[in-house]
Amino acid sequence: MRYKACPEPVDDIEGLLAIAAAVPEEADAEASCCARLVESTDLDDEDEAADWLVFLRALGLAEETDGGSYRRSPTVPAADRLAGSFRERVYLADEVLDALEGVDGPVDAGGVLEHVRATLPERRWPPGTGTAGLDADEAARERLRRLLAWAVVLGLATRVDGGYVSSGTHIDQTG
């Protein structure tokens, strides 16, 4: 399953893990995980927190219980596992990373957008981002901006003058 949630990126892995640490260790049907994230982090509202919970689940940092609540995963995956989960479980991450691999020099956001558009069936384009108030093309560009920024945070890409390059990092995609 690929998850569409892709919140505004943090600066580094430590920021990602700090938000994950705000997820309760044990699910509580009475308490709101989203409210706890807002209270414990710099997140603005519960809608943003809900996106974060789904994103953390995609990365293996949170688990959804049968009751629909979330709890923190008992172990923090290694950096290569986080990167692999990002690529495998976040919608369009694989296509964005494919656009950076196997090319000489940096790829700008426009080049990434064209690659992703060319690889998706018409019915799956444009991708939704959950970003209200944007037209479809703006929403697609915003999603790609976030995916590229997350790829940098997770060590899968490097930002260079004029665009992005693949970091060449080997990632574990076994789950």
> For the chain, how many helices (H) and strands (E)?
7, 4
162: left (phi over 0), alpha (psi -120 to 50) or beta: left
Query: End-to-end distance of the chain based on CA atoms, in angstroms?
Result: 12
Q: State pTM to two decimals.
A: 0.87
Q: What is the pLDDT of residues 37-75, one digit of tens each?
A: 999 999 999 999 999 999 999 999 999 988 888 999 999
**Nearest 5°: phi and psi at 90?**
-105, 125
* Residue of 116, 82, 86, 78 whose CA lies nearest to 100: 116
Fold annotation for 79-166: Arc Repressor Mutant, subunit A (1.10.10)
CATH for 13-72, options being 1.10.10, 2.30.29, 1.25.40, 1.20.120: 1.10.10
The per-residue pLDDT for range 75-107, each reduced to its tens digit, is 999 999 999 999 999 999 999 999 999 788 899
The pLDDT tens digits for 112-141 are 988 888 887 765 665 654 455 556 778 888
